[in-house]
Structure 1
């Protein structure tokens, strides 16, 4: 069983909220812990946005609940009707699930049966819920802050390595069909998670101009790395889909296909290694000249092979199109990475110095 950073932060935030509530003498410490559990978010930006939304929801829920109890009492039918109204209003303002849950919790907390004076009771519940929200925000900001830059790059590197490994196996007709289908499904899920991690990294805010500019440049490179990996995955799916047709084309062309794809894979790998700083910088030999796969010529040769057979002449054209798109994305990645390393050498990724293990959000 793995304990992710978010699990640890949730437990710590609840502990802090309940402890502070006891220190301050609040009678509803449990409510502070529940509010803290609702407020934990995967990054600081979302935590701040959630804090504001949930404080508003807390004010709204406690206020409406207190007014209804004061005017109509706390009969179960009245509570149910009030909950319906709160849900409708929250849905109108497109509040997220946690905010809606906290608003409902605030209403129920105020409308429960009690002998304490209503105003005093509402203040206690409001204070406890607000304390939990603030505790979660502070814990999320200072305890195990997420490093989405490092996490994103490692995820891209791992997924790309898996794709390229399966590409090499598939082009030589060594892959097991069920195993490859399973791996493609797994990799697609990993790519979806990478998109989500990229979104979280994009949401992080920097308040110094130098940091903002460095992040913007890295966002461009990360986005292109993801696009290139997606095209490599599309190429892998193409080889899996057209595996039988590839086996029927002339052996000579099969060798050319494997050689050119190997160059493409090699070029992709070199770019990732270069981004990590694991390849020596050579000013006399730029990245563009490391490998030169001739994919356009490969596509022309493929069409030429089937010129005499009208029926099957264009059968592998979809695969050729995927190869062209993959090659195009690699060339674009080469250009932007070369520009980044040339003009912003002092802002290199330099992940070699970052040995701290990053806990996943679970």
Structure 2
């Protein structure tokens, strides 16, 4: 079993909430605060601050509705249900997030249940405060303990995904792939691409308080976006090769070798780009990608057209898009290379080893 930093921070936030509630004499209602703490942890400091502000508003909304209902009509079960329906309706109208709506529901339940034998306003104030304690505890824990480093995580994800994609492309172009295994792997790689986009979003949400660091971070965002686009191109190429594997295997050996050669060109360039960003290729005196060959897409298309008979238009058109895809892949890499060279000249620190 693997426990991440978020699980640890959730436990710490709940513990702090319980200690504070006990110290100020709010033991009877700290369950609401612990639920608030557990639902307030977010994957980034920026989102944690945003969530804290939203959940404070939700706590106020839910508490106001609960207090109004109890003081005017009581706390019968059907009134609690009506209060929850009203809270959900208001939250939906204002397009609040599910976590925020959940806090408002918790506030209604906490303030309307078990309130018959105490001074109600005192009871409501205690529960309201306990929920706030849970929200603030989660925010402070997220701020102080193990802040996430999405830059390193993002690059590692890009590097691992690129390595997996290029390995599978090599296996597929040589017709060595087990088709059921490759199909399953393609689905997994698509999931990893989605996770990559999510990590990029979290990294883009991080805030810097220095103008210099802000500019450098903006450049990194551009580089990472370009590298992610390259990963997407690699994925598209792999899925196309998988779909056309039978056709490529049964054309002439000369054209099959030509396709393999052109695919190897773009993969070699992609690998060099990753090494270039990691500083593993010398770039003081020469361009580390100066020897990269542009895929001869025009020549490949001519060979494909000449290979098929004029009447076999369907077979001819099946492989020509592959050549076009290789050219797009190469052009995207040249654009990424230009951005990377500009970034590496100005970047002060990008060590991911």
Task: Report TM bin, short chain.
Answer: over 0.9
Q: Are positions 1:129 and 2:131 aligned together?
A: yes
Between the two proteins, the alignment pairs up a number of residues equal to 349
> 1:143 is matched with which residue?
145
Distance across 2 between alignment mates of 1:319 and 1:185: 21
Please tell me whether the aligned partners of residues 32 and 131 of structure 1 are also in contact (alpha carbons under 8 angstroms). yes
1:235 corresponds, among 234, 237, 247, to 237
Distance across 1 between alignment mates of 2:87 and 2:276: 54
Higher-RCO chain (CA-CA 8 Å, sequence separation at least 6): 1
Distance across 2 between alignment mates of 1:240 and 1:58: 53
Deviation larger for 311-320 or 104-113: 311-320
Distance across 2 between alignment mates of 1:163 and 1:74: 59
Cα offset for 1:186?
0.5
Please tell me whether the aligned partners of residues 257 and 298 of structure 1 are also in contact (alpha carbons under 8 angstroms). no
Cα offset for 1:273?
1.0
Q: Give runs of aligned pairs for residues 1-362 of structure 1, distance below 5 A.
A: 1-27=1-27, 28-114=29-115, 115-283=117-285, 285-306=286-307, 308-311=309-312, 312-342=315-345, 344-346=346-348, 348-352=349-353
Cα offset for 1:345?
3.8
How big is the alpha-carbon RMSD for the aligned residues of Structure 1 and Structure 2?
1.4
Normalising by structure 1, we get a TM-score of 0.93
Cα offset for 1:29?
2.3
Distance across 1 between alignment mates of 2:60 and 2:153: 37
Distance across 2 between alignment mates of 1:112 and 1:230: 52
Unaligned runs of 5+ in 2: none
Distance across 1 between alignment mates of 2:199 and 2:291: 31
Seen in structure 2, the aligned counterparts of structure 1 residues 92 and 209 have a Cα distance that, compared at 3 Å, is same
Seen in structure 2, the aligned counterparts of structure 1 residues 149 and 302 have a Cα distance that, compared at 3 Å, is farther
Seen in structure 2, the aligned counterparts of structure 1 residues 295 and 223 have a Cα distance that, compared at 3 Å, is farther
Cα offset for 1:298?
4.4
> 1:357 is matched with which residue?
none
Unaligned runs of 5+ in 1: 353-362
Normalising by structure 2, we get a TM-score of 0.95
**SS of corresponding position for 2:304:** helix
Distance across 2 between alignment mates of 1:216 and 1:177: 41
Please tell me whether the aligned partners of residues 41 and 140 of structure 1 are also in contact (alpha carbons under 8 angstroms). yes
Cα offset for 1:320?
1.8
Query: Per-residue displacement from partner, 1:144-166 (whole Å, max 9, x unpaired)?
Result: 11000000000000001000001
Cα offset for 1:323?
1.4
Distance across 2 between alignment mates of 1:66 and 1:298: 77
